[in-house]
Chain A
Amino acid sequence: GEDVEQSLFLSVREGDSSVINCTYTDSSSTYLYWYKQEPGAGLQLLTYIFSNMDMKQDQRLTVLLNKKDKHLSLRIADTQTGDSAIYFCAESISGNTGKLIFGQGTTLQVKP
């Protein structure tokens, strides 16, 4: 079945770059997403990439997609303490039903 895997924890210093990695199994996924969840809050859509793209950049965020290895990464440049949150990777299931499969979430800790 479909599965999305993420590392559970990442700690970086303020000002450094953060790279959060994700692997997925459904090779026919149309979209891959990154969501951010701050404590006590809902999910905020950070960015997403269509499966026919290799890279997408949006200000401090860079998404890289390696379809061959089914690997997705999110790079946050100049990480700030406000970036501390849980980051979820999600893949859309083929057939465009709208169903998303989420990874376990990566907790990003940013130290001053």
Chain B
Amino acid sequence: SAVISQKPSRDICQRGTSLTIQCQVDSQVTMMFWYRQQPGQSLTLIATANQGSEATYESGFVIDKFPISRPNLTFSTLTVSNMSPEDSSIYLCSVVPGGSNQPQHFGDGTRLSIL
């Protein structure tokens, strides 16, 4: 399975600022995703990070709020823009290594608190 590193692991940010979260994988992966886990809740898919093209966003999530980059097959970033307290969540990167018949693995997540 792939080793997934997320940075930062946690942060406390001021309202109105933006934070970029990095996801680094130790091998090339076909699929990378970003999920959000609000306090005490389950995980919700934000978007699929597509290499070399714009990310595919799920209903309720927009590019202006959550811009995503994926410059290559091992790296992606998620930016949480113009943050408000409602954005306080854990943000998790996940990958499908190898072929599409492989299970999905998650990073340790970024714990974000907005004051």
Contact = CB atoms under 8 A, between A and B. Distances in A.
Contact of A105 (B42, B90, B92, B104): B42
A43 interface: yes
Nearest to B33: A98
Nearest to B96: A98
Q: How large is the interface on B (under 10, 10 to 19, 20 to 34, 35 or more residues)?
A: 20 to 34
- Count class of interface residues, chain A: 20 to 34
A88 B43 CA distance: 9
A96 B48 CA distance: 13
A35 B106 contact: yes
A100 B107 contact: no
A104 B43 CA distance: 8
A103 B44 CA distance: 10
Interface string B92-115: 101010001001111111010000
Interface of B: 1, 6, 31, 33, 41-45, 48, 58, 90, 92, 94, 96, 100, 103-109, 111
